[in-house]
Chains A and B, each alone.
Chain A
Amino acid sequence: MHLHMPHIALPEGLAGIRGLLAFRPDMTNPLRGFMEILMRGENSLTRGERELIATYVSHLNDCLFCKSSHGATAEYYLQCDIGFIEQVKSNYQSAGISDKMKALLTIAASVQRGGRNVSAEEVQAAKDVGATDYEVHDTVLIAAAFCMFNRYVDGLDTWAPDDLEFYRKGVKERAEAGYANYDPYR
């Protein structure tokens, strides 16, 4: 049982964005269709890499629900442990990720502070280590999208469990089902 009271009356027992989508089902279709293409569609960035960008931005925005749920999804796709995810969050330059991902995470961090913080130099640095225009585009859009999702989830003060196991439970099934069929009640 939990006693957390969100800012508005949401269906009970649904954490994070689930309560919001259950409250406002009209928004569910565009948001889940968008997420499916962005996070799971055909892409030269792996699903794990995209979830890592989402996790990192959610960490910068201090959004417990999003950083935990997308962190668990990244963990699943990358077949890594939580220590690796934590290292990416605290100091990605020292993490065992590609130079391209390091350069893209730098761009994502600038987007998180505000679109105008992204510099031509940062983008050039990413291209110099092999990032394509598509990868730069998708990194900016993923980072921007999580500046939306994080604000949506925290702006209405939704409930989010502290326990990482909550987010790991069923992550394989959710990852395989994808966002297109996202069911807030599952």
Chain B
Amino acid sequence: MAYISLPEGLPGIRGPMAFRPETAKHLNELAEVLLRSENSLSRGERELIATYVSYLNDCFFCQNAHGGLAQHYLQCDMAYIDLVKVDFQSTDLSPKIKALLPIAASVQKGGKHVTPEQIEYARHVGATDLEIHDTVLIAAAFCMFNRYVDGLGTWAPQDRNIYVERAKWRADEGYVNFDLYK
């Protein structure tokens, strides 16, 4: 049971978004620009940053919804996504993403945790200012989305495969036009 009376049958963020469509509209526009629009970071890389931060915030719904999307875009399996969460340094991710994920992890702890050394290293392995900016904003945005979802006590399906199944058409649909009731 969520802490407030949300429209029934909608898991995770879909309940609060259906409850308050006025704010949902802008939140979805933000997600669209941040995670899907033209960018030198691929959609898969951006969803992976979102997944990692949601994992650090222990938000089951977000880490699986975005983990499913990352898995879809990166054409990998769930074990790979899980390995990124617990030990991304041991994966075959690019050095650039391996340098951006620690910045995201610092943002998750709090903005002041990001160090000049982390930034310098990310630049050294090829990250641009725009990529550093977007990594910080994606990580910060998921510190919002995760709190929104869990702070209202929403429910989430426990079968992780459901999220992977949904990811295919969620990826086609995008964030702006998606139907909360579907």
Contacts and interface: CB of A to CB of B under 8 A. Distances in A.
A20 B147 contact: no
Contacts of B157: none
A134 B4 CA distance: 8
A8 B3 contact: no
B89 interface: no
A144 B148 contact: yes
Contacts, number: 152
A105 to B, nearest CB: 14
Nearest to A112: B147
Nearest to B20: A137
A7 interface: yes
B20 A154 contact: no
Interface in B74-121: 103, 106-107, 110-112, 114, 116, 119
Interface in B1-55: 3-5, 16, 19-20, 22-23, 25-27, 29-30, 32-34, 37
Contacts of A143: 147, 151
Interface residues of A, number: 49
Contact of A141 (B23, B59, B110): B23
B149 A155 contact: no
A115 B147 CA distance: 4
Contacts of B20: 134, 137-138, 141
Nearest to A157: B114
Contact of B150 (A34, A114, A154): A114
Contacts of A20: 133
B109 to A, nearest CB: 9
B22 A151 contact: no
B111 A8 contact: no
A29 B129 CA distance: 21
Contact of A30 (B16, B30, B139, B150): B30
By DSSP majority rule, is chain B's interface helix, strand, loop, or mixed?
helix
B172 to A, nearest CB: 21
Contacts of B129: 8-9, 23
A26 B114 contact: no
A121 B58 CA distance: 21
A167 to B, nearest CB: 18
B22 A141 contact: no
B119 A7 contact: yes
Interface of A: 7-9, 20, 23-24, 26-27, 29-31, 33-34, 37-38, 41, 61-63, 107, 110-111, 114-116, 118, 120, 123, 133-134, 136-138, 140-141, 143-145, 147-157
Given A115-B57, A143-B151, A148-B143, 12 more contacts: A20-B133, A24-B134, A37-B26, A115-B146, A115-B150, A116-B150, A134-B20, A136-B3, A137-B20, A141-B20, A150-B110, A151-B110
A-B pairs, 4 with minimum CB distance: A154-B111, A115-B150, A34-B26, A148-B144
27 contacts: A8-B133, A9-B129, A20-B133, A27-B30, A29-B29, A30-B26, A37-B22, A37-B26, A38-B23, A61-B110, A61-B111, A107-B151, A120-B153, A123-B4, A133-B19, A134-B20, A137-B4, A137-B16, A138-B20, A140-B152, A143-B147, A144-B146, A147-B147, A151-B136, A152-B136, A155-B107, A155-B139
